[in-house]
Amino acid sequence: MLSFALGIGTQNTQGDWLEIYYPAPLLHPDASLVEAVKGVLDVPDGNAAVSFLPEHCSELAAALKAAGHSEQGELAEALAASQRPLVAMFLAEDAPPQSAPEVYLKLHLLSHRLVKPHGLDLTGMFGLLRNIAWSSEGPIDIEELPARRLKARLEGRTLSVDCVDKFPKMTDYVVPGGVRIGDTARVRLGAYLGEGTTVMHEGFVNFNAGTEGPGMIEGRISAGVIVGKGSDLGGGCSTMGTLSGGGNIVIKVGEGCLIGANAGIGIPLGDRCTVEAGLYITAGAKVTVLDDQGREAETVAARDLAGQSDLLLRRNSQNGRIECLTNKSAVALNEALHAND
């Protein structure tokens, strides 16, 4: 079994799942725990979201405790007081998700740091998530928002909508230890924030992306992008994600890197790289490479520098060309550039 979790969810008036909160998801749960739950609930084979009622919780809690899983047993006991729909989610294998409860479990696993970005199959997830008004009264199906707003007004309340999106903010579900987040609305559920990460007010972290930590994030970490330890993203800078033109290429920022304010990258960086403020490096950009003596060695497309370490990327203020300074000799540099030819 890949993963298991007990959750509390929200459904629309048609019974469709809008979102699910899993307080304590498990990765590779013990077989005895899974069998204890299956002894109480009717669970089909494979990946399955099994709805259950509060009256099942006492029996479920007893079975879990008898199997030696007191923490999950205590959670089952607490769920007995729920006024929201309950679900037990079983992930037998990592396959493209087939339901909203499955998507939400995978997003929880990422934000709980149980799985790193690109560690789970999220193919087709957008088609399984509904557009939701995230409001002061919880998540509301966008098609049902007018009726809910009118009902609130008639009862003397003002229903406030914070955002309309398929994804909620991470901190409504998970707050990982050892992080600081200036504006919680700018970190989506499914983000992976390593310990020691600070996301400032202008920083943004998408789902299936994040930081190994520690690091300072004042720019944008797009979907699929991973930032290594000790790297900083300056104010307003950007990383090209797999959903914004990067295709299937995984954009990774290595350890000890600095992307300057309002700069950006469309190629992966190795370790100890610096991108000058205001310079956006796309894969096809022409770059003049300078060796360790500052002599021109070659002009290449930026994609040829992908993944290499100890690079300083800058724009020449006199002629406007993009330059890359390295600490390699001309011979070593030539070998590195043509290693994959």
pLDDT tens digit string along 267-321?
Answer: 999 999 999 999 999 999 999 999 888 888 899 999 999 999 999 999 998 898 9
Judge if 79 and 140 occupy the same domain: no
CB half-sphere exposure, 84, CA atoms < 13 A: 18
Q: What percent of the chain has pLDDT over 70?
A: 94
pLDDT of 340 higher than 60: no
Number of structural domains (the chain) is 3
Whether 7 and 78 have beta carbons less than 8 Å apart is answered as no
Whether 319 and 281 have beta carbons less than 8 Å apart is answered as no
Domain boundary among 165, 187, 216: 165
Judge if 153 and 232 occupy the same domain: no
Nearest CA-CA partner of 56 in 88, 95, 24, 30: 88
Q: Which residues contact 168 (CB under 8 A, 6 or more apart)?
A: 19, 132, 134, 139, 188, 189
**CATH number of the domain encompassing residue 245:** 2.160.10.10
**CATH number of the domain encompassing residue 154:** 3.30.60
> Catalytic residue among 202, 212, 218, 323, which?
218
Judge if 194 and 265 occupy the same domain: yes
Overall residue count recorded for the chain in this entry: 341
Judge if 86 and 224 occupy the same domain: no
Judge if 199 and 141 occupy the same domain: no
Determine the distance from the C-alpha atom of residue 337 to the mean position of all C-alpha atoms in its chain, rounded to a whole number: 32
Q: Is 218 a catalytic residue?
A: yes
Kind of pairing between the strands at 3-11 and 86-91: antiparallel
Judge if 26 and 74 occupy the same domain: yes
Judge if 201 and 306 occupy the same domain: yes
CB half-sphere exposure, 334, CA atoms < 13 A: 7
Residue-wise pLDDT for 187-236, tens only, equals 999 999 999 999 999 999 999 999 999 999 999 999 999 999 999 999 99
Judge if 286 and 153 occupy the same domain: no
Residue type, 209: A
Judge if 114 and 41 occupy the same domain: yes
Judge if 67 and 143 occupy the same domain: no
Judge if 118 and 30 occupy the same domain: yes
Judge if 203 and 313 occupy the same domain: yes
**Which structural domain range is residue 264 located in?**
170-337
Q: What are phi and psi of 152, to 5 degrees?
A: -65, -45
Using 50, 70 and 90 to split pLDDT, how confident is the model at 250? confident
